Structure 1
Amino acid sequence: MPEIFSAAFLSALFAIVLIDLVLAGDNALIIGLVARNLPKEQQRKVIFWGTFGAIAVRGLMAILVVYILNVPGFMLAGGLALIWISRKLLTPDENAADAHKGPAPATSFPAALRTIVVADAVMGIDNVLAIGGAASGSIVLIIMGLIISVPIIVWGSHLVIRLVDRYPAVILLGGAVLAWTGYSMIVREPLLMTWLAAHPPARFVIAVLVFSLSLAPWWSERLSRKMQPLVVLLPGLLVWLLAFEVAIPYLKGSGGVLATDMGSYLIQAVRWLGWLPLAAAYILLRERAAPRTVNAPSRP
């Protein structure tokens, strides 16, 4: 532990301030986006309790982080949770006028607080690890790092609410931050790291898949009707390719389908062309269903 006010202590404190500015900003962004459509008095409550929850979660994780990271599947589950939160954040409000649809943030205090706590619990891992590393085991520095993050989150949350009112595209930024954090957690999952090291292209496929799923609600509202099937087809194609990346090693070897040249050619043909009839069937069914929805007779 560095001596208080020594050069090492001040250097570590400066590093923690920089870490808070970068990582606590994510929490402020999420709190601001979730709370933006609540009444003003509830916005203050959500920001206060959301900040309290973020700090409480980080404090708990600072104690338990070593054990949490050893739980099989925790990083994968956290990454998938962030994809769900991103989609929820960007899903259009069905109650809004069609011409002015906007993303549907939480409309009640409990729902907003629940979303914020889940996001903080998942995203707080990076913050705890970064601050813990910079503090070099100093409890004083860890506590100071948590205290410093409070005004950053509170001020940042108010700033985000004001920015969203003027620049709605900030909502997309929040979804992208969640998507990137979710991807980072998934590829750091210990259960997948060995497999990903042996299949480098899978990282790129997972990255595109995560961003496609996370941001799909935003783009589906802005694409033309003819382009909207891409919101389903792109993630579907990526899942198809990933499935083959997982399955092919099991098909190799003696007695496997890939043991012969003919079997290998057949598998590769299915891998690269097999998705086309499925995509065509989806588009056809979608086109057949659309007229019944659009031209349904209105009731008097």
Structure 2
Amino acid sequence: MEIFLQADTWVALLTLTFMEIVLGVDNIIFISLVAGKLPEHQQKKARIGGLALAMITRVLLLLGITWIIGLTKPVLTFGDFELSWRDIILLAGGIFLLVKSTLEIHHKVEGQHETERNVSAKSFGLAIGQIVMLDIIFSFDSILTAIGLTTEIVLMIIAVIISILVMMIFAKAISDFVNKHPTIQILALSFLILIGVMLIIEAVHYHVPKGYIYFSVFFSLSIEMLNMRYRKKND
């Protein structure tokens, strides 16, 4: 463990951890929405269990990093356009987020009752499966980005573990806040639509700087917080 005696190691670890936490924002939002549909006594179990399985999955993916890199090689060719397994996975994940988020917004706007619209969502196993599946999709970008920051697998694994633990600590507070305010739910679902579009664009080889996306989300959230404060003062 001589690498931990070097200053560059700690800088890389802090950078990786920060990156994992930032990239985990969309995970927490998705988990909040999915877990919020479960019976109250299962919500905490879904959040913690989903994140724990996500952590194990991400660590296993890091240990198979050679395989991950291999997924960037083209498997389908259409003239000059090439698709790798990574592109196909991102495309499928983007379409899934678009469809699921659009349907959720539709249900909320139409005002369907919880009992009518959440029959399938109240399956604990389904909720966990959705959380893990989305985490795997989001993991590809974070892992490939991590490779550009360091070649030390142990640092990547430590960063993943720390970031997931941070998510576990704040997941309930974020989940309660999102599920308590309908307008925040709509904003969160819109954010997931934005992420879905980004995944699809990335899948067809157009890079979208994530800073623009996160800035737009935080800006929208700031405006909504002001609106909530205004409505509260005038109630």
TM-score when normalising by structure 2: 0.68
- The Cα RMSD (Å) is 3.1
Q: How does 1:279-290 map to 2 (within 5 A)?
A: none
Residue of structure 2 equivalent to 1:68: 71
Q: Supply the distance in 2 between the matched residues of 1:60 and 1:76 (Cα, whole angstroms).
A: 22
Residue of structure 1 equivalent to 2:81: none
1:245-267 CA distances to partner (integer Å, 9 max, x unpaired)? Answer: xxxxxxxxxxxxxxxxxxxxxxx
Q: Supply the distance in 1 between the matched residues of 2:96 and 2:34 (Cα, whole angstroms).
A: 16
- Check conservation: 2:54, 2:132, Cα contact below 8 A: yes
Residue of structure 2 equivalent to 1:77: 92
- Check conservation: 1:38, 1:107, Cα contact below 8 A: yes
Mean Cα deviation higher: 124-133 or 139-148: 124-133
1:14 is the counterpart of 2:14 = yes
Counting matched residue pairs gives: 191
Q: 1:162 aligns with which of 158, 173, 176?
A: 176
- Check conservation: 2:21, 2:167, Cα contact below 8 A: no
Residue of structure 1 equivalent to 2:25: 25
Structure 1 residue 85: Cα displacement: 3.1
Structure 1 residue 6: Cα displacement: 1.7
- Check conservation: 1:2, 1:9, Cα contact below 8 A: no
Structure 1 residue 16: Cα displacement: 1.4
Q: 1:7 to 1:84 in 2, by over 3 A?
A: same
Q: Supply the distance in 2 between the matched residues of 1:81 and 1:57 (Cα, whole angstroms).
A: 20
Counterpart of 1:45, as a letter, is: K
Structure 1 residue 158: Cα displacement: 0.5
Residue of structure 2 equivalent to 1:297: none
Q: 1:145 aligns with which of 159, 164, 174?
A: 159
Q: Supply the distance in 2 between the matched residues of 1:126 and 1:102 (Cα, whole angstroms).
A: 36
Q: 1:86 to 1:53 in 2, by over 3 A?
A: farther
Q: 1:96 to 1:81 in 2, by over 3 A?
A: closer
Counterpart of 2:133, as a letter, is: V
1:41-68 CA distances to partner (integer Å, 9 max, x unpaired)? Answer: 2112111221022212322333232123
Q: Percent identity?
A: 27
1:176 is the counterpart of 2:179 = no
Residue of structure 2 equivalent to 1:227: none
Structure 1 residue 117: Cα displacement: 1.9
Residue of structure 1 equivalent to 2:80: none
Q: Supply the distance in 2 between the matched residues of 1:22 and 1:130 (Cα, whole angstroms).
A: 13
Mean Cα deviation higher: 141-150 or 71-80: 71-80
Which has the higher Rg, Structure 1 or Structure 2?
1
Structure 2 residue ranges without an equivalent (≥5): 74-83, 209-235
Q: 2:142 aligns with which of 90, 102, 127?
A: 127
Residue of structure 1 equivalent to 2:126: 111
Residue of structure 2 equivalent to 1:59: 59
- Check conservation: 2:102, 2:193, Cα contact below 8 A: no
Structure 1 residue ranges without an equivalent (≥5): 198-202, 204-300
Between the two structures, name the one with larger relative contact order (CA 8 Å, sep ≥ 6).
Answer: 2
1:37 is the counterpart of 2:18 = no
TM-score when normalising by structure 1: 0.55
Q: Supply the distance in 2 between the matched residues of 1:31 and 1:149 (Cα, whole angstroms).
A: 15
Residue of structure 2 equivalent to 1:87: 102
